């Protein structure tokens, strides 16, 4: 077993000091997020993640989930762990008390989600998607649908899935072909094949609630002709328990690079005449509803990036402290030392940690804005927060998952040859992480989303508002003493400057109608955003560390790590970021210059 | 089967236009490298790589090599392919005709090696290490050792291995514990365990020649007390055929992330009293000799980085041309198009190609310098070339393998969800590539080598000589017409400027005695070197393309791709490189700032 220790102190510091959980707890319907309760939740979740889920990560990778005679068997210990997970109420954290939820803010749920994903990414996917499904039905389901499904899904007795992709319809949902026809009883009959359905079939729960995109025969072509249906594995009986088996099955599971224990199903609907589906909301508005779930899942996947980075960091750190090899550079006469004494190993560990902490803080900051957008009494404040969430969602998804892959790769590297041996465990993180920049929209799609929908559409207004927040942090650093504050402030200001120019260029380029040119620079544009926003978060962390260090009785050692990590990020990661600006604006010179045949 | 087409046109262009094979063919003992013969070699090697080795890549990954009752079985088809490979003489390309070699320059051998590695990395490792072993014995073996072993290894009837690593001695060879004791007949008895021995046992040949580092009982402590031994699997009889089985065995094979078909063996020597070993050269000079093999293998592994990048590029390009998804941004009314029409997919493909071509040219340039260092009649020219090889070896090894991993990862990304499915094949490249920054010295070790041995030791003299070559290329661009030449020249000059400052800093920092500070910046220093040197190579490529485009009858389409690729590299990869300079010089501020307990 490869240990995982939930970073409860780090999470608490980010929640309380960096993103301001107190302000969230003061919002209507968020009162339960009192410091004591949140502390208890974090501690208890940490114990569950470390004690129950983490030990199953390796066995999950080795055994994988298997399809046998139409039944998907999760690995040994999986079902017991899930039952414990559900019984402890972990599915219900951020949901409405009316349906059995605990009414905690998403900010807290995000922090807890990180622990599940870090402990066991394959396991964590099941509740991650279930949360998105609950969010969707809470928002768009009918009263009856809520009464039948929500409490079961919030309790975790049933799980929800997301059925979008078809062989010809991946990023392009307009190409969905799965058919829905109206039945006489007001329900629908669904026929078609869906692929890449995470936990599309499993043995963890007595029922599975599929949320399926399909097209009615008379629907308009394209994206505006897609409807959303609830298609349960077992049709609920009048008493709410699972009844008749629906006409759907898992046709096969994919053989994947990683997340072996998470069953990725090909789902066949309607082999015997049509699966019974129940329309969510109105016909032809399915994509709109599904965006509720997708936005939720995108932030969730971004948190997976943070999580796998944390897990890889812990493993590499433990290895670096115990693996003895070569002399200390500072002591040519001594014997071999633990490799954490070697500067490049330190650099790698700090790089892993700095990226992880920056991405974590940004995800939790997005959580606060999500909570404000839902609960703040003033509409203008809600709208401003919603605009922040809109801008941040593609960044949290794509930047954090890129970081997850980079950090997992660095983790392998720190292990040297042992990193390439599967028994060590570092390689599993590297394999598992690799899906996160792909699913829930490839990171390229998110870069386009940031460029077009989130920057171009409002002519940079929301983007500039967020940048103004960053400026305020840079200004606040000016009043603090010491070299660290100067270095961090200068790096942040230079990053902000580049970001402002990039936003202006993105807006102008779209105004000129050069959509290809804007798209060519999109990934670098998102990378710049993530890097600067992450630097902003660590600047806030540094401010709190500097302030804290002046207080008697502070945990100086802990605060020092925050300060050094922030400075490392500023010098090693943020300082080079403005060099992305020329790559953003020049990509259009070459990207479309060759014909397809020249590739 | 996933096709691979050997990039013969690209290789020919680099050899003839960019690195100047004509000058190499004019050297004594390199005359066989006449254009016609080299062309024929490239074409024939390309056919063999594409037709025989590439189809075995996937089956190799699925089946892997297996240890059964002490015997390692390579995957189906492996042995037949190896026999064909050896019979066609592919092992013998760069070796002395005296022992059956073809006497071709290493420059040509490198180009051919790329094809083996691209077609099938797991297969290619066997001849890669054998070449290093041949190089070592050619340089340091006795006349008798050469007569017994060399012709067999050059013909490929026997293969050579490299036995350095032990559980406690990875990067730190001073810690080698394997014992050697003198026997009465002048041979030695070897006892100990070696790990991570590539092709340490296999069924491809009738004998295996292990080159083993071991320590005599009365040897000095540390690195200067290690001797090198030939330890054959079967002791050669007087007639040169394999005789009695030696006291060595494969104890187990590692279960790895990738290169599944390449058996990575734990080797046990002397279970029954001691394996018979024959000393190479003098006692206690083993490390010095082994460096011949390591330097050879390091360049070979760098070429693996190029190779896996090329392979991943080809696969992603083929996918991008056939996968239809989403509308063309430039044509909002049309239907879905092949994803190669999407700017970000193009950008990824160009990024893959630009990095691959830069790394390829740099490796082949290193090949020319290796040939000059061995064959040029003038000692001063040989010495200057040897100095270039010294500087370039860690760069080719580390930068190219980092690029191999990056490009393989981008290849996965272009495939979207399909990239994560093993059947697609993109994931195999991603897994296989990951070993290359680790073996033959981790890339961090090479960064230290570049920083200390290759820059600090001669106070930057060799580094500056290489930079002067780069300046000459930048100056040559000034006389060429058009915007492309201006852009490339400016980017190269800025890169050179940063590199000069970095060299000066590295030299000064070591002079001050701040070894930790120099080491903290080492990886970024190597990255800067690789990026600028790669840009230098593509600038030379651009010059030849611009000149060629002015000639009637030139292949304009081909030359245009070279020009666009060079400009893409200049704008997207080289332009941001100077931003590495501040990271090199500031790393020491933070890297050692925390205690081990704070991690």
Would you give the end-to-end CA distance of chain A in angstroms?
46
* Beta-carbon count within 10 A of A334 CB: 10
pLDDT digits (tens, 9 = 90+) for B115-170: 999 999 999 999 999 999 999 999 999 999 999 999 999 999 999 999 999 999 99
Q: Give me the domain span that covers residue A142.
A: 8-66+74-155
Q: Which residues, including other chains, have CB under 8 Å from residue A358's CB and lie 6 or more apart?
A: A534, A535, A537, A538, A569, A573
Which of A 453-512 lie inside 8 A of B, CB atoms? 487
Question: Is the CB of B255 less than 8 angstroms away from the CB of A560?
Answer: no
Question: Is the CB of A416 less than 8 angstroms away from the CB of B442?
Answer: yes
pLDDT of residue A333: 85
Instruction: Name which of A546, A548, A535 is nearest A580 in CA terms.
Output: A535
- Please give, rounded to a whole number of angstroms, the shortest distance from the CA of B455 to a CA of chain A: 17
pLDDT digits (tens, 9 = 90+) for A194-231: 999 999 999 999 999 999 999 999 999 999 999 999 99
Judged by a CB distance cut-off of 8 A, whether residue B556 touches chain A is no
**Residue B187 and residue B238 share a domain:** yes
Proportion of chain A above pLDDT 70, given as a percent? 100
pLDDT band at A579 (very low <50, low <70, confident <90, very high): very high
**Residue A237 and residue A202 share a domain:** yes
pLDDT of residue A189: 98
Strand partners, B193: B268
pLDDT of residue B1: 58
**Residue A93 and residue A43 share a domain:** yes
Question: Is the CB of A586 less than 8 angstroms away from the CB of B571?
Answer: yes
* Beta-carbon count within 10 A of B263 CB: 27
Question: Is the CB of B582 less than 8 angstroms away from the CB of A567?
Answer: no
SS3 A520: helix
DSSP B560-596: HHHHHHHHHIIIIIITTGGGHHHHHHHHHHHTTSS-G
* B171 within domain boundaries: yes
Tokens matching residue A304 = 């997976």
* A514 within domain boundaries: yes
- Total domains, chain A: 3
Judged by a CB distance cut-off of 8 A, whether residue A321 touches chain B is yes
* B563 within domain boundaries: yes
- Please give, rounded to a whole number of angstroms, the shortest distance from the CA of A340 to a CA of chain B: 7
* A305 within domain boundaries: yes
Measured distance CA(A57)–CA(A259) in Å, rounded: 9
Question: Phi-psi category of A300—alpha, beta or left, where left has phi over 0 and alpha has psi -120 to 50?
Answer: alpha
Question: Is the CB of B567 less than 8 angstroms away from the CB of A590?
Answer: yes
A596 is catalytic: no
Measured distance CA(B196)–CA(B35) in Å, rounded: 40
pLDDT of residue A1: 59
Question: Phi-psi category of A24—alpha, beta or left, where left has phi over 0 and alpha has psi -120 to 50?
Answer: alpha
Q: Which residues, including other chains, have CB under 8 Å from residue B184's CB and lie 6 or more apart?
A: none
Q: Are B402 and A412 in contact (CB under 8 A)?
A: no
Judged by a CB distance cut-off of 8 A, whether residue B578 touches chain A is yes
Strands A207-215 and A158-163, by their bridges, are parallel
Which of B266, B285, B304 marks a domain boundary? B285
pLDDT digits (tens, 9 = 90+) for B451-475: 999 999 999 999 999 999 999 999 9
- B contacts of A438 (beta carbons < 8 Å): 412-413, 416-417, 419-420
**Residue B270 and residue B235 share a domain:** yes
Least CB–CB distance from B434: residue in A412, A444, A594: A412
Judged by a CB distance cut-off of 8 A, whether residue B329 touches chain A is yes
Tokens matching residue B475 = 């100056």
Which of A120, A136, A155 marks a domain boundary? A155
pLDDT band at A270 (very low <50, low <70, confident <90, very high): very high
Chain A interface mutation, best of B9, B264, B328, B343, highest count of A Cβ atoms under 10 Å: B343
pLDDT band at A332 (very low <50, low <70, confident <90, very high): confident
pLDDT of residue B34: 94
> Using CB atoms within 10 A of its CB, is residue B481 exposed (0-12), middle (13-18) or buried (19+)?
exposed
Chain A CA closest to residue B558:
A598
What is the domain-level CATH number for residue A30? 1.10.540.10
**Residue B276 and residue B195 share a domain:** yes
Tokens matching residue B15 = 């050899």
* A231 within domain boundaries: yes
How many residue pairs from chains A and B have C-beta atoms closer than 8 A? 273
Instruction: Name which of B29, B16, B15, B18 is nearest B382 in CA terms.
Output: B29
Judged by a CB distance cut-off of 8 A, whether residue B599 touches chain A is yes
**Residue A256 and residue A393 share a domain:** no
Gyration radius of chain A over CA positions = 24
pLDDT score of A254 more than 90: yes
Question: Is the CB of A422 less than 8 angstroms away from the CB of B587?
Answer: no
Average pLDDT across chain B, whole number: 97
What is the domain-level CATH number for residue A252? 2.40.110.20
Q: What is the mean pLDDT of residues B286-297?
A: 93
**Residue A264 and residue A130 share a domain:** no
Least CB–CB distance from B438: residue in A325, A417, A583: A417
pLDDT digits (tens, 9 = 90+) for B351-366: 999 999 999 999 999 9
Measured distance CA(A411)–CA(A426) in Å, rounded: 6
Instruction: Name which of B371, B413, B412 is nearest B389 in CA terms.
Output: B371
Measured distance CA(B569)–CA(B407) in Å, rounded: 14
Chain A interface mutation, best of B62, B257, B422, highest count of A Cβ atoms under 10 Å: B257
Which of B 380-409 lie inside 8 A of A, CB atoms? 405, 409
Least CB–CB distance from A340: residue in B341, B444, B599: B599
* A599 within domain boundaries: no
Residues of B belonging to the active site: 440
**Residue A129 and residue A189 share a domain:** no
pLDDT digits (tens, 9 = 90+) for B204-237: 999 999 999 999 999 999 999 999 999 999 999 9
Instruction: Name which of A172, A173, A162, A166 is nearest A135 in CA terms.
Output: A162
- B contacts of A304 (beta carbons < 8 Å): none
Question: Is the CB of B579 less than 8 angstroms away from the CB of A582?
Answer: no
pLDDT band at A357 (very low <50, low <70, confident <90, very high): very high
Tokens matching residue A139 = 């928002």
Which long-range CB contacts under 8 A does B269-272 form with residues at least 24 apart? Answer: B269/B178, B269/B190, B269/B191, B269/B192, B269/B193, B269/B194, B269/B212, B269/B231, B270/B179, B270/B189, B270/B190, B270/B191, B270/B192, B271/B247, B272/B247
- Please give, rounded to a whole number of angstroms, the shortest distance from the CA of A187 to a CA of chain B: 31
pLDDT score of A335 more than 70: yes
Higher local confidence (pLDDT), A262 or A293:
A262
Question: Is the CB of B579 less than 8 angstroms away from the CB of A576?
Answer: yes
**Residue B162 and residue B236 share a domain:** yes
Least CB–CB distance from B439: residue in A345, A417, A572: A417
Measured distance CA(B84)–CA(B101) in Å, rounded: 17
pLDDT score of B2 more than 90: no
Q: What is the ipTM of this complex?
A: 0.98
Proportion of chain A above pLDDT 90, given as a percent? 98
- Please give, rounded to a whole number of angstroms, the shortest distance from the CA of A25 to a CA of chain B: 31
Question: Is the CB of A413 less than 8 angstroms away from the CB of B444?
Answer: yes
Chain A CA closest to residue B318:
A599
**Residue B194 and residue B127 share a domain:** no
Average pLDDT across chain A, whole number: 97
- B contacts of A257 (beta carbons < 8 Å): 412, 420-422, 427, 430-431
Judged by a CB distance cut-off of 8 A, whether residue B434 touches chain A is yes
* A334 within domain boundaries: no
DSSP A350-395: HHHHHHHHHHHHHHHHHHHHHHHHHH-SSHHHHHHHHHHHHHHHHH
Looking up tokens 């090894």 gives B397
**Residue A164 and residue A149 share a domain:** no
Chain A interface mutation, best of B10, B444, B562, B569, highest count of A Cβ atoms under 10 Å: B444
* A330 within domain boundaries: no
Which of A130, A155, A180 marks a domain boundary? A155
Chain B interface mutation, best of A263, A344, A405, A521, highest count of B Cβ atoms under 10 Å: A344
pLDDT digits (tens, 9 = 90+) for B265-277: 999 999 999 999 9
**Residue A439 and residue A560 share a domain:** yes
DSSP B163-203: E--BTTBSS-GGG---EEEE-TTS-EEEEEEEEEEETSS-S
């Amino acid at each position: 077993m490869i240990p995982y220790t939930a970073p409860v102190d780090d999470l608490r510091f980010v929640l309380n000091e960096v993103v301001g959980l107190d302000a969230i707890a003061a919002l209507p319907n968020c009162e339960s997020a009192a410091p004591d309760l949140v502390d208890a939740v974090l501690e208890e979740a940490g114990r569950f993640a470390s004690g129950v889920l983490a030990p199953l990560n390796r066995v999950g990778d080795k055994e994988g989930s298997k399809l046998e005679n139409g039944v998907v068997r999760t690995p040994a210990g999986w079902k017991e762990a899930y039952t414990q997970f559900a019984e402890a109420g972990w599915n219900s954290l951020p949901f409405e008390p009316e349906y059995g939820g605990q009414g905690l803010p998403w900010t807290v749920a995000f922090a807890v989600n990180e622990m599940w994903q870090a402990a066991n990414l394959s396991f964590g996917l099941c509740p991650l998607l279930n949360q998105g499904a609950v969010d969707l039905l809470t928002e768009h389901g009918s009263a009856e649908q809520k009464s039948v499904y929500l409490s079961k899904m919030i309790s975790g007795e049933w799980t929800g899935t997301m059925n979008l992709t078809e062989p010809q319809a991946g990023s392009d949902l307009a190409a969905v072909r799965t058919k829905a026809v109206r039945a006489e009883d007001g329900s629908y009959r669904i026929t078609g094949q869906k692929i890449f359905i995470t936990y599309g079939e499993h043995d963890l729960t007595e029922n599975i609630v599929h949320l399926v995109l399909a097209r009615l025969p008379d629907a308009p072509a394209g994206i505006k002709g897609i409807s959303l249906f609830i298609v349960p594995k077992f049709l609920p009986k009048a008493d709410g328990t699972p009844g008749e088996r629906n006409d759907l099955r898992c046709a096969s599971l994919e053989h994947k690079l990683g997340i072996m224990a998470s069953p990725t199903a090909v789902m066949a609907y309607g082999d015997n005449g049509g699966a019974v589906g129940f329309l969510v909301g109105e016909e032809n508005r399915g994509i709109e509803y599904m965006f509720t779930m997708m936005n939720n899942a995108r932030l969730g996947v971004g948190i997976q990036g943070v999580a796998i980075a944390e897990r890889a960091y812990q493993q590499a750190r433990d290895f670096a402290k115990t693996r003895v090899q070569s002399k200390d550079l500072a002591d040519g006469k001594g014997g071999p030392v633990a490799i954490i004494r070697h500067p490049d190993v330190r650099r790698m560990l700090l790089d892993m940690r700095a990226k992880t902490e920056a991405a974590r803080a940004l995800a939790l900051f997005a959580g606060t804005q999500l909570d404000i957008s839902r609960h703040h009494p003033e509409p203008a404040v809600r709208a401003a927060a919603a605009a922040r969430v809109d801008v941040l969602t593609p960044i949290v998804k794509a930047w954090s998952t890129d970081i997850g892959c980079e950090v997992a790769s660095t983790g392998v590297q720190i292990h040297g040859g042992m990193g390439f041996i599967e028994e060590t465990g570092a390689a599993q993180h590297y394999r598992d992480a690799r899906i996160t920049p792909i699913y829930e929209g490839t990171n390229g799609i998110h870069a386009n989303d940031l460029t077009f929908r989130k920057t171009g559409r409002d002519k940079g207004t929301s983007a500039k508002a967020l940048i103004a927040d960053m400026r305020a942090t840079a200004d606040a650093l000016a009043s603090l003493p010491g070299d660290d504050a100067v270095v961090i402030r200068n790096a942040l200001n230079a990053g902000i400057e580049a970001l402002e120019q990039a936003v202006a260029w993105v807006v102008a380029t779209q105004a000129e109608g050069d959509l290809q040119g804007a798209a060519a620079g999109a990934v670098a544009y998102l990378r710049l955003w993530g890097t600067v926003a992450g630097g902003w978060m660590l600047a806030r962390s540094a401010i709190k560390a500097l302030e804290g260090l002046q207080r008697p009785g502070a945990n100086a050692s802990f605060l020092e790590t925050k300060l050094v990590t922030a400075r490392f990020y500023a010098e090693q990661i943020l300082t080079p970021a403005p060099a992305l600006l020329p790559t953003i604006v020049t990509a259009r010179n070459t990207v479309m210059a060759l014909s397809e045949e020249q590739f």
